[in-house]
Chain A
């Protein structure tokens, strides 16, 4: 199972959990999994076309998902980090 880290601002949409497990093996599988279990969270993360919303970042083992194809694999023990868009600088 991959581990999904949920930031504070999104935890109310994930039943309050800071960490979730997911059986997803691809990025599109992650979207399907979250949409079925946490539709409000999924709606905050993904637009109607399935693309990530502008102010959300998803990292899979440090790789930014926005740069990856939807069938990009998620390893069984991967760490998926959800973050609000980070400003910095």
Chain B
């Protein structure tokens, strides 16, 4: 008896867990649902705690039958962030630090699940449409699992994000246009090539990997749910699956049932969901020409955007937007207070958290977790200030003393 099956999120039709990606009845998106006879409570907690220090410790709650991934994905630090918290007026702030995964973004989690399924289904090629991080994650996973990778990105993304897939050995396809144009092309390519498109044809499995951020967070907090989670919103899948993870943690008795406020973060230059939230609309209006430093979040037609709106409202949460200036300032703030260099998507998360905290929308004593989903070294140019204060001197002590004292006086 299979542990899980696929169910349409729109019409509820169910089917076996194969590699179909949309509902045969209504074309709606599919999600994985688990058998109610899953292990639960203390038995499941012991199984998890004795498992590997990676996402695979939660394999009972993931749709994978065979794990043979040599990569170390997941179990990233949950950092108590008192210095950043003081700056934002929050006394119980934690950062889920996914800047330190194998390809330096949380996308390694979702790709690990999708790549495992691709192998189970017998594919030899994995592929994706990506704003950059996913391309790196797909290429890295393909390399370590012996698969071929083909990655499609919009032309003009950061050079470091273009370099990584090539170095990992993937075929890189740069497409003139926006991410949404790339996505449309990929949907057509999927009909022409028998490849596993991790975020399209294997999407029901891929998105399940997003749950592991909250699974880990809850375990690292001592098996309890936080009061609020701040989540960057691109397609919205991470947001929707954080809610799913909370439900599964409660249903399996791993944590007590307690409300979790789901707080979404978008850049103003591509914030269709935040705009709909602010305008009290039920559905978002697509952004045709995204314009933001947060390229990872530059999805004008987020697939789960309307689901994010509904969940933000039902969880007493919010969807906030931040300007590019606020995003860059937030990157520097996290770096200077906590020693973590994040990319603009995570800068967006912290900038929006700051906005909500300043507006009094978050209790100062609430346990708040912010997801830091990507590493700033991929996008370093964004965060470097125009005036760095760097001192350049000949290798002589007097030169150092003179220049350093001058710099200190200037700083004072």
Contacts and interface: CB of A to CB of B under 8 A. Distances in A.
B126 to A, nearest CB: 15
A15 interface: no
A59 B299 CA distance: 18
A34 to B, nearest CB: 15
Contacts of A59: 184
Contacts of B186: 86, 88
Contact of B187 (A7, A44, A89): A7
Interface of B: 10, 20-24, 26-29, 129, 131, 179-184, 186-188, 191, 199-200, 203, 234-237, 286, 299, 302-304
Interface string A51-86: 001111101001010010000000000000101111
Contact of A86 (B187, B237, B304): B187
Contacts of B236: 89
A55 B129 contact: no
A88 B236 CA distance: 10
Contact of A89 (B22, B199, B286): B199
Nearest to A9: B22
A55 B191 contact: no
A77 to B, nearest CB: 18
Contacts of A53: 26-27
Contacts of B184: 57, 59, 62, 81, 83, 86
A55 B299 contact: no
Contact of B299 (A56, A62, A89): A89
Contacts of A89: 131, 179, 199, 234-237, 299, 302-303
Given A86-B183, A88-B200, 8 more contacts: A55-B23, A62-B184, A64-B286, A83-B184, A87-B29, A87-B183, A87-B303, A88-B199
A40 interface: no
B187 A83 contact: yes
Contacts of A62: 181, 184
Contacts of A87: 29, 183, 199-200, 203, 235, 237, 303-304
A5 interface: yes
B234 A55 contact: no
A81 B184 CA distance: 9
- Sorted nearest first, the 7 A-B pairs with minimum C-beta distance are A89-B235, A87-B303, A88-B183, A55-B27, A84-B22, A84-B27, A89-B234
